[in-house]
Structure 1
Amino acid sequence: MRRSSLLAAAVSLTAAAAMTIGGAPSASASGGNFVALGDSYSSGVGSTDNYLNGCDQSTAAYPYLYQQAGSPSSFSFQACTGANASSIESSQLSALNSGTTLVSLTDGGNDVGFASVMQTCVLGGDSSCTSAVSSAESKARSQLPAILDTLYSDIRSDAPNAHVVVLGYPEFYDLSRSSGCIGLDKTKRTALDNAADLLDSVIATEVAKYADFTFADVRGYFSGHELCDGSAWLHAVTWPITDSYHPTADGQSGGYLPAFNAAL
């Protein structure tokens, strides 16, 4: 992987300090009024065969696992598959109020058309894949910052007393093991990993502008569990197609939940 061992060590130490055994929330993080916002990475797509509703919310998703272990005073599960900043604004933020003390969020991928990029890379050649990735990266640089600023500002306005944890996206492939791994070629895998890194960088930069917002980087937690690793916590191209490139139940409990807890 491209990340340094120092980053991995830092992530591991932070997680160890913030979590109790098994990934449960620390005592200080328990209680409060918790609202889970976001897209399919927060609703839990890919983590179950039995979703709770049309938003593909799962009892294996990290927000649900957190509230089960931490028993907050209230829990509002708003995250929905396919959500982008606009739909989060129109259909999820109504759950926030001055009594909200904790908010989780994943957003950014759908705002730059990442689902379409994945489809292009799976069905098309290297040239069409890298072109689609380049277009999404351009949107991430030029358009996404303003989109996220509006969303974060509105979250802060609607939930002025909340700690807001914004979680990023994992790299999909372990490029160090790519040569012996079936599926997309290394050109496509590298482009997709680079795009995920850029997306996380843009999100982290915007999060840093807001008081009591924390960026939770999940990439270190997925290290050793990416596609091409022996124990992957992500789906490759699979059926149903909507599960593709989403975390498995292990990815939610072993990747996203510890990253969320560490941010607390």
Structure 2
Amino acid sequence: MRRSRIAAYVGSLLLAVGLALTGATTAHASQSAAAGGYVALGDSYSSGVGAGSYISSSGSCNRSTKAYPYLWNAAHAPSSFDFTACSGARTDDVLANQLGPLNSATALVSITVGGNDAGFSDVMTTCVLQSDSTCISRINTARAYVDSTLPGKLDNLYSVIRSKAPNARVVVIGYPRFYLLGQTCLGLSETKRSAINGASDHLNTALAKAAANRGFIFGDVRSTFGGHEICSGNSWLHSVDWLNIGNSYHPTAAGQSGGYLPVFTGAA
């Protein structure tokens, strides 16, 4: 879903207020980012899986021209743009494969990562195919990983990002809630939906804390996706897509442009 320049500006301004930033501060930050290089890191939520229009040279990383990093680059024309986010990436994959473009001239970095470390795909597969109790048990295992292991991995990754890009504004963007609760909706039980939403909240809390510990900015997309979750009737997220299973539980093109892009624009 494309927005007019006026709508994009208003959306960015409102988000800036919500982040306790002034419009002038946000504009200055965006201008500074555009004056330097922008590097987009992360997993499938950053690469744009589910949005279509994939860049052929990106192969199985499935980087989309409808993903929020590509859209931001088109709107702001930074001095350079490196799009290294990749479907399936975990924190170790970002460390090993995505940080090459970072340097002292990098002015802006975006990243969403952590869901795959916590076993996102296996959690969703378990919850789709098995019982409520088995689903909740698998979610509890993921939550325990988020508490015990993920913070250290994020801190290590963020430390390396800062060392390689000492002058960059780094924006860590989280994950949406997946379901609008209390609705008549085919598929998973309300018990499973509520537990999945709770797990997303738990992960976002960990991401926000790790970002704050490094002085990075956290962009919370749960508000922009509000009313556009699965079961809402106007979802910006794919439910189970049996024809292209990789799309399942990923943002649509509208989710990238309407859910992720405004949050990143307001924080960049």
Q: How high is the TM-score relative to the length of structure 1? A: 0.89
Does the 8 A contact of 1:14 with 1:262 survive in 2? no
Q: Aligned match of 1:43 in 38, 44, 47? A: 47
1:98 maps onto 2:85 in alignment: no
* 1:21-44 Cα distance to aligned partner (Å, 9 max, x none): xxxx95565332000000000000
Aligned to 2:34: 30
Aligned to 1:257: 261
Q: Aligned-pair distance for 1:51?
A: 4.3
Matched letter for residue 207 of structure 1:
A
The number of equivalent residue pairs is: 247
Does the 8 A contact of 1:18 with 1:262 survive in 2? no
Does the 8 A contact of 1:233 with 1:251 survive in 2? yes
Aligned to 2:152: 146
Does the 8 A contact of 1:85 with 1:111 survive in 2? yes
Q: Aligned-pair distance for 1:60?
A: 0.2
The alignment partner of 1:175 has SS state of coil
Q: Aligned match of 1:56 in 59, 62, 87? A: 62
Identity %: 53
* 1:37-65 Cα distance to aligned partner (Å, 9 max, x none): 00000000000154432210000000000
Does the 8 A contact of 2:33 with 2:107 survive in 1? no
Aligned to 2:167: 161
Q: CA RMSD in A?
A: 1.9
Q: Aligned-pair distance for 1:13?
A: 4.3
Aligned to 2:218: 215
> In the aligned structure 1, how far is the partner of 2:80 from the partner of 2:16?
30
Aligned to 1:230: 233
Matched letter for residue 202 of structure 2:
L
Aligned to 1:4: none
Q: Aligned match of 1:206 in 210, 217, 235? A: 210
Q: Aligned-pair distance for 1:170?
A: 0.2
Q: Which runs of 5+ in 1 are unaligned?
A: 1-9, 20-24
The alignment partner of 2:250 has SS state of coil
Matched letter for residue 139 of structure 1:
Y
Say if 1:222 and 1:18 are closer, same or farther in 2 by CA, change over 3 A. Answer: farther
Aligned to 1:77: 83
Aligned to 1:6: none
> In the aligned structure 1, how far is the partner of 2:33 from the partner of 2:160?
24
Q: Which runs of 5+ in 2 are unaligned?
A: 1-13
Q: Aligned-pair distance for 1:127?
A: 1.4
